[in-house]
Amino acid sequence: MSTSDEKDLVARCREGQDDAWRDLVDRFGHKVYAIAYHFTLKREDAEELSQEIFLKLFENLHRYDGGFPLVAWVLSVSRNLCIDRYRRRKREKSFRFVSDEAVTAMLPSEDDPAKAALRKERAQMLFSALADVPEDLAEILILRDLNGLAYDEIGKALELPEGTVKSRLFRARAEVARRIRERQESRNAPGAFASIAMAAAGLV
C-alpha cells in the first residue's frame, strides 16, 4: 500500500467509516500485539497494551500527515506506551525471571522434547539477558530482530538516523551475547554449584 493509500485509509477512518477502521485493525493488529507481547511477555498484559495503543491511534488519527509509512507512525504512537509498560515491568522483582509459558508461546511446536527443551532454555536466556541490557538497546533489538521491522521504519518511529539504529542494534546483539556467555561461564566454573546452593539456602 502506497503512502497516499495509507493517507486515504486514515482519512476514511477519521470520517468514521467502519470498513476503513477494520482495514487498519487487520493490517496492524497482529504487529502491534507482537510488539506488545515482546515488551510485556504476558498475554493479558499484551492484549491490554494493544487496546491502549489502538485507542491512542484512534485519538491521534488527525496527526497523521502521510509524511512517512503508516507502520512507522503506528510504531511511534505505540512506542511510549510500550516503554512505559517495560519500565513498569522492570521495577518488578520478577523482571529477570521469564516463565516457561511466556517463551513457549513464542516457539514453534516441536515433536522432539529434547529439542523443545533446548529451544525453551535458549529463549529464556535471551530474554533474561535482554533484561540486563540498557533500555535503548533492548528496544532496538525487540523491534528489529523479534518483530522484523526495517531500519528506516525504526529510525522514523524513534526519530533516529538509520546509522544510529544500526549501531545500537550491533551493540545490543553483542551485549546480549556477552551477558549470556558470562552466565554460562559462571555456571560452568568450579564451585558454581556450591555457590548456587548457598544462595538458595539464604547463606550468602
Partner 1 sequence: MSCHELERLFVAGSPDSQAKAHRDGCAECARVAADLEHTETLVSGLKAPEWSPKLRQALLAIPSLTANCEQAGALIAALVEGEIGDAEERRLRHHFARCSGCAEASETLAAARGLVAPEPPAWLATRLAASRPPRKKSLWRSALSGKMVVVYAYAAAILVMVMGLNPTAVVRKAGFASLGESTRSAVVVAESSVGDRLGAFQEKALRTLAVWTGHVGGYGRAAVSNAIALVWRSESKKTPTRPRSAKEGGAASLPAEIRLAGHAGAEPFAARFRV
**Minimum CB separation from partner 1 for residue 127, in Å?**
9
Judged by CB under 8 A, which stretch of 70-78, 89-97, 161-169, 185-193 contacts partner 1? 161-169
- d(Cα 107, Cα 126) in Å, to the nearest integer? 13
Place of cell 544462595: 199
- 138: closest CA among 94, 179, 185, 92? 179
Using CB under 8 A, which residues numbered 126 to 145 contact partner 1? 126, 141, 145
Nearest CA to 89 out of 47, 13, 126, 38 is that of: 38
HSE at residue 6, side-chain half, CA atoms within 13 A, is: 18
Q: Quick check: 156 binds partner 1 (CB under 8 A)?
A: no
Q: Which of 12, 27, 171, 183 binds partner 1 (CB under 8 A)?
A: 171
Reference 13, options 66, 75, 58; nearest CA is: 58
For 105, phi and psi rounded to 5 degrees? Answer: -65, -20
Rounded to a whole number of angstroms, the minimum distance from the CB of residue 25 to partner 1 is 5
* Phi and psi angles of residue 203, each rounded to the nearest 5 degrees, phi first: -90, -10
Assess 147 for contact with partner 1 (CB under 8 A): yes
User: For residue 38, which amino acid is it?
Assistant: H
What's the grid cell of residue 164?
544510529
In the bound state with partner 1, the residue whose beta carbon lies nearer, of 141 and 157, is 141
CB of 29 to partner 1, least distance (A): 6
Q: Which is nearer to partner 1, 58 or 193 (CB)?
A: 58
* Distance, CA of 86 to CA of 122 (rounded, Å): 21
86 binds partner 1 (CB under 8 A): no
Residues 53-72 that bind partner 1 (CB under 8 A): 54-55, 58-62
Interface residues toward partner 1, by CB under 8 A? 14, 16, 18, 21-22, 25-26, 29-30, 33-35, 37-38, 43, 46-47, 50-51, 54-55, 58-62, 105-108, 119, 122-123, 125-126, 141, 145-147, 163, 166-167, 170-171, 173-174, 176-178, 180-181
